[in-house]
Structure 1
Amino acid sequence: MSASFLPVRAARLDVATAAAQAGLHPELVERFAELGLVPWTTDAAGRMWFPPAAPALLRRIVRLHADLALNYAAIALVLELLDRIEALEGRRGTLGTEGR
């Protein structure tokens, strides 16, 4: 007996949903996407789609801009550095458990 499976689409958010979950205006979300601050893709119809983690990233961008008065180029650099730190901490955690 063979099982049939329905196709599964990756979870994604449209501009309006990402904006609502982040508490932002959709035009601001589009601007952040165009600046390369948040990852996005388009479908065949040209609509923007964001990963499920986008609202948290959008809120982080707004906090960096408001609290530290960083421009968007500096925010891109800070986000890249934070990603690198997180990756290094993950590697350190893995290396620390191998020797036990």
Structure 2
Amino acid sequence: MNQQSRPSDYPLVRSPRSALLDDEEFARRCGLHPELVRRFWALGLIPAARHVDGTLWFSPTQVPAVARLQRLHASLPLNYAALGLVCDLLDRIRDLETALRVRGRTEPVRRRTTAHRPTATRPERSQRWT
């Protein structure tokens, strides 16, 4: 390889900025109106980089996240602001389930002993239905 050649000399090498999508292209790939994409960003549902001229640039990896938001919005009677909380909770559940699966592979499951379990004192229920 010639030491004087630069990565910009090769058309297959993309610069970091070209790896990001502007709001119009990102909206087109998501199948949404650009204003809805900007609303998602304003609500904090999807991250974006802001250029010095004020334009928003999105990662192409966020397209599945937007599709997830659209599926949740279609199936749940929630507004877009509430979907952020739902997505956070679903991500937390996924992380906890993953941690449990990993823990299950590395640590044996300990059985609970009934000797230390406190007994609840419940009043006896009547067998008669009222």
Structures share fold, TM-score greater than 0.5: yes
1:24 to 32, 56, 59: 32
Q: Which residue of 1 aligns with 2:113?
A: none
1 or 2 for the larger relative contact order (CA 8 Å, sep ≥6)? 1
Q: Which runs of 5+ in 1 are unaligned?
A: none
Return 43-52 or 5-14, whichever deviates more.
5-14
Select which of 68, 71, 82 maps to 2:79. Answer: 71
Match status 1:9 vs 2:13: no
Between structures 1 and 2, the one with greater helix share: 1
Alpha-carbon offset, residue 71 of structure 1: 1.2
Q: How many residues are matched?
A: 98
Runs of 5+ in structure 2 lacking a partner? 9-14, 109-130
Pair 1:41-2:39 in alignment = no
Q: State the superposition RMSD in angstroms.
A: 2.6
Percent same amino acid among aligned pairs? 44
Give secondary structure in 2 for the equivalent of 1:38: coil
The 1:25/1:96 distance shift into structure 2, 3 A limit, reads: same
Structure index of larger Rg: 2
